[in-house]
A and B are shown apart, each in its own frame.
Chain A
């Protein structure tokens, strides 16, 4: 079955530590996205990528980094510069075929990150 796999489901970070969240998709989608969700709030865009080896900052990119070395993979690193990393992180992917039509984003099951 095609889909998006995020791992781990739960992650704990110590002070001063970088952690990496994994996101893999087998939907053959061009675009991939990372969102952050705080309790009781909507999703905010961290980074997105439309093609391998290219990615763009979203609305809240500070303290995060990404890479896109393969079409299927878009890992997110939460660096020690992110002072409030506790949140639910969601990865998504979509096709890129013009600007009209649904092309909905498909989401993974998310990773919950907490500070120890």
Chain B
């Protein structure tokens, strides 16, 4: 079973509008962390936002916010006021404890294109 599912291979949004990128996850651990990364065409991975499973409030970082619905196991990324520079691949990832692994499991990504 997929641990991280991103069902939107591609998304389009008009500049200055908000967009939501979907992410659902699967884990039996009560303690886990969820991350979103941005990957521009140049290839580097840029950390955007983090949500811990025990965090009471949804995470926010500037124009990025996370719509965390624990019971539904979803952690959707919301980008407000889209800019042309937001065009990139976006990956949702999960970190689970256990054996001290702490590596990330990534989804297949969503390609976001911001249109002027």
Residues of chain A whose beta carbon lies under 8 Å from any beta carbon of chain B = 31, 33, 35, 40-45, 48, 50, 56, 58, 88, 90, 92, 94, 96, 99-110, 112
Contacts and interface: CB of A to CB of B under 8 A. Distances in A.
Which of B42, B45, B103, B105 has most chain A Cβ within 10 Å? B103
Contacts of A99: 31, 33, 97, 102
Interface stretch (B12-20, B47-55, B64-72, B73-81): B47-55
29 contacts: A40-B108, A41-B108, A42-B91, A42-B109, A43-B45, A43-B104, A45-B104, A50-B100, A50-B102, A58-B103, A90-B43, A94-B102, A96-B102, A99-B31, A99-B33, A99-B97, A100-B31, A100-B52, A100-B54, A102-B35, A102-B52, A105-B35, A105-B45, A105-B104, A108-B44, A109-B42, A109-B44, A110-B44, A112-B43
Nearest to B35: A104
A56 B37 CA distance: 24
B60 to A, nearest CB: 13
A105 B43 CA distance: 15
B77 to A, nearest CB: 15
A92 B45 contact: yes
Given A42-B107, A43-B91, A102-B33, A48 B101 contact: yes
Contacts of A94: 102
A41 B44 contact: no
Interface residues of B, number: 26
Contacts of A102: 33, 35, 50, 52
Given A41-B109, A99-B97, A108-B44, 15 more contacts: A40-B108, A42-B107, A43-B45, A94-B102, A99-B31, A99-B33, A100-B52, A100-B54, A102-B35, A104-B35, A105-B35, A105-B47, A107-B45, A110-B43, A110-B44
A42 B102 contact: no
A24 B44 CA distance: 15
Nearest to A108: B44
B106 interface: yes
